[in-house]
Structure 1
């Protein structure tokens, strides 16, 4: 018997966290690879910030993180996902008392790839906060997904959690999916989510064209401002610019 995953162990469309995934790309993946999680522990009162670029050009690329944030600690993760044909980042987070989690992500690209972020945030203790901002820009037949679940237990009073997903589809064949979930059992909380999918603002494009900007440059400036929202909380300006350039480099190949 080999280590390859048999079909019975693969996720299916019945699994909510995989409902939009490109499951056919997982068939040759070994069980060890499929179940490989990286654990990150942030000690009490400490802070961590990591950036990721998912840009694999073939097969399935799975990045799976489990983050345990100690009391009063902060964890921040920022990512650009340009991989193909299937690139997925999963982040599972537990927030202790007074902890904060920040996530900013961008999926961008064309072809027939599926790019997604899947997060699950557990607010198990009071006074913790979390904020997630995801932007998607796709064309061709590409798909951008954001699946998120926030769990707030009864003891986690004063929780403040927010999700914000927006997508721009540059061509009719592209698509985007958002599935926010809130499971709230505490009564003194602030939890909000928002999702919007649309095209580029033609009024803004006309405004820039009227002032002599070429259409390609006008489009790039609009998209740059759009995806930059995901990295506003990244205090390191050099790293912020690096992530933006990684995302816009993919756009340059289309324009």
Structure 2
């Protein structure tokens, strides 16, 4: 969404699955604020976020990654109300962007990640891994757009989304978008949505694990993929623990 004085509608592709009622509560001022972050040439910057709460929350980041630099964003979204993390990334020559995110929760909240990754120069890479776990009437969304400019040869970009629905009323949406003008690139995306592996749960139960512990272990393994690229153990455990605490409080 551009910085305007009007609220978005479903005609705006990036807001198509959003909770527009919650957006209206925030108003234009509540969704207009954006944090601008620049990663200097050759440097590395990591951002770890826990987003969401008891009221609607929209967090918007514009990340500019210099030549040969690396920008990393890892996030857990477990709010009780509408939660949106929006990231716009512009990559310099030979730069890298890494994103790992988890949306998790129940109720009727919408939790979403929206990313726009602009490969404007040659030899840049990006990797995005999103895991979504929901129950009740909750929804997890990932809208990921990759733009590759004509001069951005040797681009290597990937997106991977997997959704896990623990109850029949929950849903997950993945909208990968590719806009490619260069001809020597690698761009890939994948999206799957399913339920817990009942065979694995039965296997654990047969070996004495309680249903609650079996579910926790399976979900932990599922969402752990999103944080494989995070080499800070303390931050990785913090993001995982927030997600698993949301699961435990559900009493499924």
Tell me which residue corresponds to 1:39: 36
Partner of residue 233, structure 1: 229
TM-score computed with the length of structure 2 as normaliser: 0.96
**SS of residue matched to 1:226:** helix
**In the alignment, which of 219, 222, 225 is matched to residue 223 of structure 1?**
219
Per-residue CA shift, 1:207-235, capped at 9, x if unaligned?
A: 11111111110010000000010000001
**Pairing of 1:29-68 with structure 2 (within 5 A):** 29-58=26-55, 60-68=56-64
- Alignment partner, residue 186 of structure 1: 182
Cα-to-partner distance string for 1:27-78 (whole Å, 9 max, x where unaligned): 23343332100000000000000100013112x2000000000000000000
| SS at 1:205 equivalent | helix
Q: What residue number does 2:12 align with?
A: 15
Residue 93 (structure 1) aligns with: 89
Q: Note if 1:249 corresponds to 2:245.
A: yes
Q: What residue number does 1:146 align with?
A: 142
> Which of the residues 142, 151, 155 maps onto 1:155?
151
Instruction: Give the structure 1 partner of residue 161 of structure 2.
Output: 165
* 3-state SS of 2:214 partner: helix
Other structure's SS at 1:212 match? coil
Alpha-carbon distance in structure 2 between the residues aligned to 1:182 and 1:139? 30
Unmatched segments (≥5 aa) in structure 1 = 1-5
Query: Could you tell me which residue of structure 2 aligns to residue 3 of structure 1?
Result: none
2:23 maps to 26
Q: Structure 2 unaligned runs (5+)?
A: none
Q: Which runs of structure 1 show a deviation greater than 6 angstroms over 4 or more consecutive aligned residues?
A: none
Equivalent residue runs for 1:195-210 within 5 Å = 195-210=191-206
* TM-score for both structures, normalised by structure 1: 0.95
Shift of 1:151: 0.3
Aligned residues: 248
CA distance in 2 between counterparts of 1:249 and 1:66 reads 29
SS in 2 for 1:183: strand
Task: Look up the SS of the partner of 1:89 in the other structure.
Answer: strand
How far 1:252 sits from its partner (Å)?
0.6
Distance 1:131 1:156 in 2: 16
For 1:245 and 1:82, how far apart are their aligned partners in 2? 11
Q: What is the aligned-residue RMSD (CA, Å)?
A: 1.2
